[in-house]
Structure 1
């Protein structure tokens, strides 16, 4: 309590005594006991009121001891078991978590990671992917402002993600790497990489590139073969030595029939080879009998044209050609879809042919579009002409029913330049994206589609869509989300199939280590998404005959089922709705491939580099005896003593009010009892 506050309290006592005395002692030669009691009660009242106004406080100092965190980041991937280190990991984790001295100094928390970080003490070593970089990114968010030395228990074999050896740029904690494995070099042959397109075209040959690697000292020769079923479709003899330890093979295979073709690439193992799993790699190619050709028609150059071509051609089933309003006239029959980019009066013959042949089209309207011409040649819609421009962002319509779309955060995309004004439609239209200004949706379509007289058409009211593709890459480090969105739009426009109430989204084949998710979308009779339906998938293993039925789970604006637990095989399936009795069937193949079993040694170099860069230390799993003492004796991880000052009132105001009420009430009753009122 400060000296000035103490002075105020003394003055309050004097002043309260003076006021009470002035009221009860004035003009009286002597005081009765009753008056003395009244004076005391009044003094208490005045003093309580003054103390309440002064509100004296004192400071309370609280001292606490805060222990640093000790983070155990444990590799739970299948490669740990493949390298026969799972039991060593369990013993080390138990030893660390049960160490009394470590628990006294640290708050010990265990995490496991594979493709994602999990706060868990249970170790199964069953994860099919490893992303060490992502684990450190999440740990960095959790322990951003604390002391948290980290013990990384891993073989260091990362199957995807950014290089974790330099993760210390973001993760500012010392990392102690426990290396699961050794540095012994074993003789090994390996199919390092096999590159092949997902799709091939009937009666064509598809190229294959294979990278083969040899780890050993002596010269060896073996054979590389590719099998389809029990038949060898390609073979080649390869020779390796210590100096010439890699080969790149390029060859082609014929696509003779339509469907998913599964192949097995085998690099025949050596007699003393320890790991033969990485000598075999399965791959598949879907053979199709047609290719979708798309024409982009424009009379001037714009970045949007290149962005559309890149997005459409990410699917090998599609090709794009650039034409102008004159060169397209004699080539209409070569294309399944025509994209009209900002048409002007020169496009009149183009529209005449399109209308005569009732062809599907995708029209992009921008600031250079001749709206007068467009309003004259098109009957389905009319656009208001204001000769003003505006920037619009997009907001996705979750009730869009023509095909399944995913919201890729359109609201965050840069705005498109468009003409200011409304558009009226004379045909039923479905909106994919609504226009918005400053995140406020207006009831105008930015991207819409409609069907009329047996043809399909889409309209985009804006230019600079190339910025959307670039923004997708900035957000996700990939163009995939945007390219998939454009791909689905092109697939819808290039297809003349009738719209159905049950739509499925799946691939023809999956790698055994990937997540296998089948998506479905169900609509009511008005083609509005229906979230009330119960959908099941009945799956049959075509090899074993085993069948199982799994329900779909409603997630966002579609139904999903995770089939990642299925074993590699060929499967047929039927998706059916419970209430409406609508069903669809299909087939897919799961390839036998486990990326976690391709490793023979730990990645010692990266784990040691990570420890060095983070000012930690690395240990092999067999030599971790000094790990505990290093942590206990490191002065960087001392217990931190923190002091907290709290300012507390000397007397709580509630108690002062109670005292005031009691003193006044007592005085009133005494005066009433004695007939003084």
Structure 2
């Protein structure tokens, strides 16, 4: 403290007030000893006055609560963080050599040793997360989250010694988390990047996609389409193989593309029995291929016993119905019929159902913009009976002036409204996924759309919605208004054994028309409509406790989202339960810890529980779940999912020099090839920083003040006694 650059004393209370108090104490002390009996010598009287004043002074100082503040300025050498990419792609061998050997040589290089000698440095490894580097650098990460690693690094050095520079050693491929180039704009230190690998694509065959419908039917043909790409094999011929639950079904000779183009190979499959079937397409590894891990993909299809009938009801043909029919009829296993409230006796393919028996002829019903017409003809009552009998119905509201608040619709609609409260609002908006929508199979869309939230955000805006006051009991919102979260745009509700889906928005047809008109992709709209049909067709099969994953098949390293739905005996969402799960690999022959996980799901909203697994090993996995409430077991449920060898990490393994150059240029660093690592040392110029350390210490509770007060008081008492003073 005494070597500080500056020292200051601050007081909690006003110095004027306490100065006045000290002045009064001094006057009182003087007057107390001005006349004494017996008289005392001036010297002794002066000592008594001084001792009493010192005692008063100690009390005043303690009451003032003084704080001593001082500042020290010191030189600090900023630290260097060295980040080593430990993902699986760093273990490969390509035309640049064996990456393991390159990394080993870099760690033992003179350049790295000189940096560690001349600067305070910390070393980290990263794949899906950042961790301090141990002596052994394991290259087995299933993901590369470079952006997340840089953000975690900023947090690590938010306190303590400052960060002066970052050395990032990687192949530049990032396949998980935040974009590292975007994160680089937020870094305030230079990043020097070192690239490992060959920037030219290696010889490799990749099964980029495997597309199949979620539901198929016995003795009904359906296609499985495999998208295959290749580099470096010219027009080499090979064989694509199709397996069903491990049994070979078909094979096709194909000519491989040479420059990474994707060719589609279609297998026509006719299932002969119902159940869930795992279909797998693979291409044998060829000589010189970088890795065979990405030569196969799998998908799962639920095989149902017969073709399903869907009825679409409307006031008359319109754009919403036209595009809905187009989407549903892309599934050859759906028999989609229409019925309209027309003047003729028969408008559309069939007559409008008016009774439970007539509704029961269909497996699911879509009612598009005809709430008023259904109410006027008492069809809403028959529809409610149909739902209670296990049917599936979708209501699409298109701007009806009045919902016709009836007891029947109150029991059907998934939202709350009162008579006169429903107002149709014209508004341009794009709905957003809710927490439940992120994991529900309807809005999770399909395997070909890996980021549903991004897919919805790119859609054209809707043109209006019904202003309602909230969700009904048991309803779940999957899409909501971006500015009015209480307004559901797509919601679902289970009514007895039946299922109801509600779409609150006009202009949904634009989601198919606009992209198609501009040569875009209508897969989001089609997947949403087909997903809704699959969900409605499962009505009557619901259990009180259901656990499931957002996808049936995952790529190695891909995040797994697990969700559970729990309902009570009245079929209402049950909150406050504890959902514990055991997840184990059914193909494992060992009791290894890595083959078993115990997780507790977190409740997101009423009756909905979720958790996430950032990555999990390859194999067939089984989820065994138990629901408990107040230590009483309620129900058990299970689910299966598959993690295939195809890895996100191995999808693109060439050296991405552009990304590494961009990161270094944005931050003021520089890019180097691994062989030029010796040039790195001369580029690092980190000057010491002056750091101001501000310190403070309270003095009012210092024991020295108490000791002074006691000594002054005792000294005065002793002198008074010796002087025969009372």
- Give yes or no for TM over 0.5: yes
Give the number of aligned pairs. 625
Q: Whole-Å Cα distance in 1 between the matches of residues 79 and 321 of structure 2?
A: 54
Partner of residue 643, structure 1:
692
- Residues of 2 paired with 1:163 and 1:563: CA distance? 17
Partner of 2:514: none
Partner Cα distance (1:421, 1:212) in 2: 49
The 3 A distance-change label for structure 1 pair 433 and 620 is closer
Residue 229 of structure 2 is matched in structure 1 by 212
CA–CA distance in structure 1, aligned partners of residues 117 and 328 of structure 2: 57
Alpha-carbon distance between aligned partners in 2 of 1:383 and 1:10, rounded to the nearest angstrom: 70
- 1:30-49 equivalence runs, <5 A: 31=41, 34-45=44-55, 47-48=57-58
The answer to whether the 8 Å contact 1:390/1:419 transfers is: no
In structure 1, distance between residues paired with 2:722 and 2:442: 87
1:156 is matched with which residue? 172
Deviation at 1:80, TM superposition (A): 0.7
**What's 1:509 paired with?**
553
Matched, 1:266 2:283: yes
1:63 CA displacement: 1.9
> Which residues of 2 match residues 375-524 of structure 1 at below 5 A?
375=407, 384-387=418-421, 418-419=467-468, 430-432=474-476, 449=493, 451-452=495-496, 455-457=498-500, 493-506=536-549, 507-515=551-559
Where structure 1 has 5 or more consecutive residues not aligned to the other structure, the ranges are 424-428, 470-478
Alignment partner, residue 602 of structure 1:
655
The residue number in structure 2 matching 1:663 is 712
Which stretch shows the higher mean deviation, 128-137 or 300-309?
A: 300-309
Query: Which residue number in structure 2 is paired with residue 63 of structure 1?
Result: 73
How many angstroms apart in 1 are the aligned matches of 2:156 and 2:523? 29
Higher mean displacement: 585-594 or 323-332: 323-332
Q: What SS does structure 2 have at the residue aligned with 1:608?
A: helix
Which among 676, 683, 689 is matched to residue 630 of structure 1?
683
Residue 24 (structure 1) aligns with? 33
Q: Measure how far apart 1:79 and its partner are.
A: 0.8
**Alpha carbons of 1:291 and 1:111: their partners in 2 closer, same or farther (altered >3 Å)?**
farther
Give how far 1:138 is off: 3.9
Native 8 Å contact 2:624 2:638 kept in 1: yes
Offset at 1:128? Answer: 1.5
Partner Cα distance (1:564, 1:251) in 2: 29
SS at the partner of 1:127? coil
TM-score by length of 1: 0.69
Aligned mates of 1:238, 1:380 — CA distance in 2: 54
SS class of match (2:678):
coil
Give 2:142's match in structure 1, choosing from 99, 123, 128. Answer: 128
On the 8 A contact 1:132/1:164 being kept in 2, the answer is yes
What residue number does 2:123 align with? 110
Deviation of 1:371 (Å):
4.5
In the alignment, is the contact (CA less than 8 A) between 1:523 and 1:530 conserved in 2? no
The verdict on how the C-alpha distance between 1:60 and 1:136 changes in structure 2, with shifts beyond 3 A counting, is closer
1:77 aligned residue (87, 106, 112)? 87
1:209 and 1:431, CA in 2 relative to 1: closer, same or farther beyond 3 A? closer
CA distance in 2, matches of 1:343, 1:198: 31
Q: Distance in 2 between matches of 1:136 and 1:646?
A: 32
- Aligned with residue 281 of structure 1, among 280, 296, 299: 296
Give the alignment of 1:543-558 within 5 angstroms: 550=596, 552-557=598-603, 558=609
TM-score, structure 2 as length reference: 0.65
Change (3 A) 1:94 1:638: same
| 1:385-411 Cα distance to aligned partner (Å, 9 max, x none) | 2557699x999999xxx99999x99xx
Cα gap change, 1:339/1:76 in structure 2, threshold over 3 Å: closer, same or farther? Answer: farther
> How far, CA to CA, are the matches of 1:595 and 1:250 in structure 2?
20
The structural deviation recorded for 1:81 is 0.8
